Amino acid sequence: MQTMAIIGAQWGDEGKGKVTDLLAEKCDLVVRYQGGHNAGHTIWVNGQKTVLHVIPSGVLHPHCLSVIGHGVVLEPENFLNELAKIKNITNVSPDNLKISSTATVITSYHKLLDAARESQGVEKIGTTGKGIGPAYEDKMSRRGIKVKDLLDKDTLIRRLGVGYSEKAILFKHLYQIEVPSIEEEVERLYRFGLSLKDYVTDTFSLIDQKLSEGKRVLYEGAQGILLDIDYGTYPYVTSSSTGAAGIMTGAGIPGRKMEEIIGVAKAYTTRVGEGPFPTELFDEVGATLQQKGNEIGATTGRKRRCGWIDLPLLKYSVKCSQLTSICLTKLDILTHLNELKVCYAYEVNGKTVDCAYPGINLYQAKPLYKTFKGFTDDFSSGKPSAELENYISFIQESLGIPVGIYAYGPDRNQVVFRKDYF
């Protein structure tokens, strides 16, 4: 296995960081291909918690080269703060961490615009407020600033000016907010550029070269397929291609086929921010999942909405990203419930549908549940009880791909492998 990917199969926060860290031990490169510091990827090792936002989750293995690909949006100040923190925990240097010279930069203006729209705009998305959407807008409209532009002051002044001219009108006349002048922003970004310089390189060529040398590359997704700009629950999505397609545009797998695409899914469902959520629970069980699962966003501290596992949505995710196996996380949170429910289909306008194709209005989807006897596993034996096996088997049979890994705690080692990945 030379190329594999870890992708969120729901609305993010499925445990991608934990699984990436786990598999990175046997990989040579871990590559982030999209998103930015809207992500919060949590890793627990020997009781120590690390939350990563834009630095790839293989970084705790110094032998592993961490790559921030060109599809990522990078906020330089946040990156440098994250880097300073991670340097206290592990060995990170320009030798084992690389940033694409053509990744897009998130400026102060992007963050201010994101915040203004969320507080004053007509349709609130519930974003993380990190400037992600506005930065990707500028990239697509060809007004973006690339990381390499930070290294040359004249280019920076010119490129920042292009993006600023329209925004200035919005800031002044629509949102009435004070923003830093171009001169201030140029100084700020140029200063950060100097600190970043040694990490910046052409990562596409680097990955190409490593693959030719037979190195093993793990691509780490941020967010989840249901937050994908094209495949997700639009407009309640993020602004990037979170699924497998994003790997091609955001990092490249030069000349290779992706051999394994692992969809990470919680054994129930959570979502932060606005948008439809057919299996959302507003009762005591929902509150139990939220509290026992400590379902609080790693980036924004917001409470996550909770509900039962939703197979029509997962089936859709399997199709969107051609997932080859599932990593099912947080099974420990479901223990000691008397009964568990699995949404196997929806009733929509009198019809039963078992895949959440985008043509289905999720607000009108009434979940149909199969009820399972609860399980009380303590997971120490590595063998699931009959009840737990029943629950896992139903999920993998419905999805048509194996549950290759299941997790029962936040620590790196709290997993059971059911498939040999290497």
Contacts with ligand IMO by CB under 6 A lie at 8, 11-13, 38-41, 125-128, 130, 132-133, 222-224, 227, 236, 238-239, 272-273
Under DSSP, is residue 5 helix (H, G, I), strand (E, B) or coil? strand
φ, ψ (nearest 5 deg) of residue 43: -130, 135
220 versus 377: smaller Cβ distance to ligand IMO: 220
CA–CA separation, 351 and 344 (whole Å) = 14
Q: Which of 131, 18, 144, 30 is nearest to 78 (CA)?
A: 131
Q: Looking at beta carbons, which residue is closest to ligand IMO?
A: 273
Q: How far apart are the first and last CA of the chain?
A: 6
298 makes contact with Mg ion (CB under 5 A) = yes
Measure Cα distances from 334 to 342, 384, 399 in Å: 12, 13, 20
CA–CA separation, 5 and 56 (whole Å) = 13
φ, ψ (nearest 5 deg) of residue 106: -90, 120
- Quick one: which of 44, 175, 190, 372 contacts ligand GDP (CB under 6 A)? 44
Query: Residues 6 or more apart from 9 whose CB is under 8 A from it?
Result: 224, 225, 226, 263, 264, 265, 314, 317, 318, 321, 323, 326
Residue 41 is a catalytic residue: yes
42 versus 249: smaller Cβ distance to Mg ion: 42
227 makes contact with ligand GDP (CB under 6 A) = no
| Interface segment toward Mg ion; rule CB under 5 A; list 19-27, 193-201, 291-299, 334-342 | 291-299
CB atoms closer than 10 angstroms to residue 275: 20
- Report what 131 binds from ligand GDP, Mg ion, ligand IMO, none; CB cut-off 5-8 Å by kind: none
Under DSSP, is residue 359 helix (H, G, I), strand (E, B) or coil? coil
13 versus 310: smaller Cβ distance to ligand IMO: 13
CB distance 155 to 174 below 8 Å: no
CA–CA separation, 351 and 45 (whole Å) = 47
Q: Which of 37, 41, 53, 61 is catalytic?
A: 41
- Report what 232 binds from ligand GDP, ligand IMO, Mg ion, none; CB cut-off 5-8 Å by kind: none
Token look-up 């990744």 returns: 103
- The string of DSSP codes covering 185-253 is HHHHHHHHHHHHGGGEE-HHHHHHHHHHTT--EEEE--S-GGG-TTTSSTTSS-SS--STHHHHHHT--
CB distance 247 to 35 below 8 Å: no
16 versus 70: smaller Cβ distance to ligand GDP: 16
Applying the rule CB under 6 A, the residues between 326 and 345 that interact with ligand GDP are 329-330, 332-333
239 versus 329: smaller Cβ distance to ligand GDP: 329
The distance of closest approach from Cβ of residue 298 to ligand IMO in the complex, given in angstroms and rounded to an integer, is 6
Instruction: State the binding string over 277-316 for ligand GDP (x if CB under 6 A, else -).
Output: ---------------------x------------------
40 makes contact with ligand GDP (CB under 6 A) = yes
CA–CA separation, 377 and 215 (whole Å) = 38
The distance of closest approach from Cβ of residue 134 to ligand IMO in the complex, given in angstroms and rounded to an integer, is 9
149 makes contact with Mg ion (CB under 5 A) = no
13 makes contact with Mg ion (CB under 5 A) = yes
**Total binding residues toward ligand GDP, as defined by CB under 6 A:** 22
- Report what 407 binds from Mg ion, ligand GDP, ligand IMO, none; CB cut-off 5-8 Å by kind: ligand GDP
Applying the rule CB under 6 A, the residues between 353 and 412 that interact with ligand GDP are 407-410
Instruction: State the binding string over 241-280 for ligand GDP (x if CB under 6 A, else -).
Output: ----------------------------------------
Torsion angle in degrees (nearest 10) through CA of 318, 301, 97, 80: 150
- Report what 312 binds from Mg ion, ligand IMO, ligand GDP, none; CB cut-off 5-8 Å by kind: none
Residue 13 is a catalytic residue: yes
The distance of closest approach from Cβ of residue 77 to ligand IMO in the complex, given in angstroms and rounded to an integer, is 17
- Structure token pair of residue 119: 């507080």
φ, ψ (nearest 5 deg) of residue 323: -60, 140
Question: Which residues are near ligand GDP by CB under 6 A?
Answer: 8, 12-18, 39-42, 44, 298, 329-330, 332-333, 407-410
Catalytic residues: 13, 41
Question: Which residues are near Mg ion by CB under 5 A?
Answer: 13, 40, 298
